[in-house]
Structure 1
């Protein structure tokens, strides 16, 4: 057999001494399931001197090694443009995309009338995501997955890192103070998750706010290769609701104005016909006509008033039909909105009829 220095050694082959019986050589192997935990255990013991953060990192590494992502969660990691670090934290949280019944048991909302699309549970350090199936909301799961991944990142930050980020997060939040949706949302979190304001800001600002300043951009660059793409996905899905809400609001305003016109015009029509009927009765009761010409003039005046009132009534009917058509359109928009609410794990916010 050749050695490293090229010398020749005398060896015995397997078949030497063939006149003696021999047993087949035993293959020595050990199951990977026993080797990996042993290695990890040794690593964790060695990590004791590194502190808690490093210990958690090794726990996360073991989780990532032993976790098999689903196609759905792989797609979310790709779609949200996660960096290697972002993917690491995401898969260390064992993300699961779940149908409504299972998701509601994992992430029950504590606020009546509210609905959520994802949650990060710090006790088990797991991420649960609602299975959004409405095609109009394509990309929303990616945003929610990114949002929850940032919760996992926050959970693993030390106090110093958080304290350095909080002023930047609060500065970004102050620029959103005039946004009613943002204000309402933060009020919800204050009730549902007291004490978690900056944790939520960290996820919301990172995935939904376009302009955040260089310090926060540098921070989020650890987790996203293209944060702007994530924000664009948020804006795209949000625009579906914004458009429906704007159209519904415009239609409701137009219907209110039209109804006011109908009510006013119909009141005038009713009053006019009451006056016409009274005048017709008076016309029929008169006996002091001086000539047929006078009767003709009075008759033509009454008929002209009747014709004008009939035209006014026809206009009221046309506007009423227009109002009904608008009502049908508004009902359709409401149904569409409620379907989207259903796709967002929310109960309908508006009546469909």
Structure 2
């Protein structure tokens, strides 16, 4: 590059030509050009940041982050794809003991469903209760997926939320048949009316096996096999529903047996009264010397006694059956209570 100088100004020759001749800029013009270039670069950077703000945020949050083995396992077991994992990991999931969980998620984070965790808005954290009872396998997986979907919902644009909300609400209005899930949604309507659709978005994605095709396609954003999560939910829920059904069945049997016992006791009282009358009659005959009449009445009296004793044996058998069912029923109820206690953050394990 050539440089020309004079007493009044300094010019710089640049290698761009106009009409076959080099264009000369003075020092001030070169400075302005540099400033314009710098501003253009800054505008590009700012524009990129505005468009990709979430990606930049994710990059910063995940830089140097290595998920703990148990967190990574939850992501794998729930078949989170790369995007689902990113949302999950950005929230630095924590698996906490009851004492810590109560602080991180007061009132279980307001959850009404079969999950034990909470999501703090604006990608501020996911917290899961550490459940160690092997009978409750699946609760951590379902909760992890449920809370990740809260984070996913947070990321939807306004237009996306409008579309997804309409699909979720339509399914609830016309397609949802599961009473338990309907009751759960109704619970949210009372406790968190502003977040009902957000909750349905997480519940349907983790607890409903068959969804309309558009919703099913939507959830592939986050899972490679969403039904694997639903299988965990079904297994976990069955631990309670199976026991509850057993208790209800036992209660029905006990009600029938109790009615039978009451009827048998009434019959025995009637027979006992009849035997008493027959016995008094026989004693009167014997006292009056009515030997033939007395002897004639003995056989009937003995038959009454035999009938009574047979009824007593039947009653005892029924009572034994009743007590056996009570024991079985109470054993199941104790198991149900144990499971509930394992999930109750207000009940600490005694060591």
Q: Quick check: TM above 0.5?
A: yes
Q: For 2:61, which of 60, 63, 69 is the aligned residue?
A: 63
Supply the distance in 1 between the matched residues of 2:44 and 2:131 (Cα, whole angstroms): 43
Question: Is 1:267 the equivalent of 2:278?
Answer: no
Question: Is 1:153 the equivalent of 2:152?
Answer: yes
Q: How does 1:176-215 map to 2 (within 5 A)?
A: 178-215=177-214
Supply the distance in 2 between the matched residues of 1:70 and 1:248 (Cα, whole angstroms): 40
Q: How does 1:1-353 map to 2 (within 5 A)?
A: 48-50=46-48, 54-109=52-107, 117-122=116-121, 125-175=124-174, 178-286=177-285, 292-345=291-344
Supply the distance in 2 between the matched residues of 1:195 and 1:83 (Cα, whole angstroms): 29
Supply the distance in 2 between the matched residues of 1:220 and 1:62 (Cα, whole angstroms): 26
Supply the distance in 2 between the matched residues of 1:145 and 1:252 (Cα, whole angstroms): 36
Structure 1 residue runs without a partner (length 5+): 1-43, 349-353
- Partner secondary structure for residue 118 of structure 2: strand
CA shift in 2, pair 1:112/1:241, >3 Å: closer
Question: Per-residue deviation at 1:257?
Answer: 0.4
Higher strand share: 2
CA shift in 2, pair 1:347/1:253, >3 Å: farther
Question: Per-residue deviation at 1:129?
Answer: 0.3
Residues 118 and 128, structure 2, Cα contact 8 Å, conserved in 1: yes
Supply the distance in 1 between the matched residues of 2:112 and 2:212 (Cα, whole angstroms): 35
- Partner secondary structure for residue 241 of structure 2: helix
CA shift in 2, pair 1:262/1:237, >3 Å: same
CA shift in 2, pair 1:111/1:232, >3 Å: closer
For residues 53-75 of structure 1, give each alpha carbon's deviation from its aligned partner in whole angstroms, at most 9, with x where no partner exists: 73233212211224332221111
Supply the distance in 1 between the matched residues of 2:111 and 2:309 (Cα, whole angstroms): 53
Higher helix share: 2
- Partner secondary structure for residue 210 of structure 2: coil
CA shift in 2, pair 1:115/1:84, >3 Å: closer
Residues 95 and 127, structure 2, Cα contact 8 Å, conserved in 1: yes
Give me the TM-score of the superposition, normalised by structure 1.
Answer: 0.79
CA shift in 2, pair 1:283/1:249, >3 Å: same
Structure 2 residue runs without a partner (length 5+): 1-41
Residues 48 and 55, structure 1, Cα contact 8 Å, conserved in 2: no
CA shift in 2, pair 1:149/1:189, >3 Å: same
CA shift in 2, pair 1:105/1:51, >3 Å: same
Partner of 1:30: none
Supply the distance in 2 between the matched residues of 1:113 and 1:127 (Cα, whole angstroms): 17
Supply the distance in 2 between the matched residues of 1:227 and 1:306 (Cα, whole angstroms): 69
Residues 120 and 128, structure 1, Cα contact 8 Å, conserved in 2: yes
Supply the distance in 2 between the matched residues of 1:136 and 1:337 (Cα, whole angstroms): 11
For residues 157-188 of structure 1, give each alpha carbon's deviation from its aligned partner in whole angstroms, at most 9, with x where no partner exists: 11110110112111222356553322221122
For residues 166-219 of structure 1, give each alpha carbon's deviation from its aligned partner in whole angstroms, at most 9, with x where no partner exists: 121112223565533222211222233221011011101111111112111111
Supply the distance in 1 between the matched residues of 2:115 and 2:238 (Cα, whole angstroms): 18
Question: Per-residue deviation at 1:45?
Answer: 9.6
Q: CA RMSD in A?
A: 2.6
For residues 75-111 of structure 1, give each alpha carbon's deviation from its aligned partner in whole angstroms, at most 9, with x where no partner exists: 1111100000000000001110001111111111177
Residues 119 and 148, structure 1, Cα contact 8 Å, conserved in 2: yes
Residues 115 and 146, structure 2, Cα contact 8 Å, conserved in 1: no
